[in-house]
Structure 1
Amino acid sequence: MDAEPATDTRPCAHCGRDVPQRVGAGRPFRYCRDNDGACQRAARNSRMRHRNSPGLPGQVARTWEAVDRLDQIVETLTEALHAELSPAGVERQLAELRAETSAQVAAAHAERDEARRETEDATAAAARERQQARAAYAERDAAADRAERAEAAAATAAERVAAAEDARDAARAEAGAAQALRVQAERDRDAARHDLRTVRAERDAERRRVAELTTERDTARADAERATRSAAEALDRAEQSRADADRARADAQ
Structure 2
Amino acid sequence: MTPCKHCGTPIEQRPGRGRPRSYCAQGDCQAAAKRERELRRATPGLEGTLARAEEFYERMEKGMASVIEPLARVLAEELSPAGVEAKLSAMQAEAHTRVAIARTEREQAFEQVRLAREATEHARRERDDMARQMEEANAERDTALADAETAREQALAALREASATERRARNAEAEARHRAEQAEAARDAAVRELAERVEATERSAAEQVRAARDQAAELVAAAERRAEEAHAQAEELRRDSVQALAERDKTVMDLALAQARTADLRQQIEALRAESARLLERAVSAELRAGGAQGLQ
TM-score (structure 2 length as normaliser): 0.43
Question: Where is the helix percentage greater, Structure 1 or Structure 2?
Answer: 2
Q: Which has the higher contact order (CA 8 A, sep 6+)?
A: 1
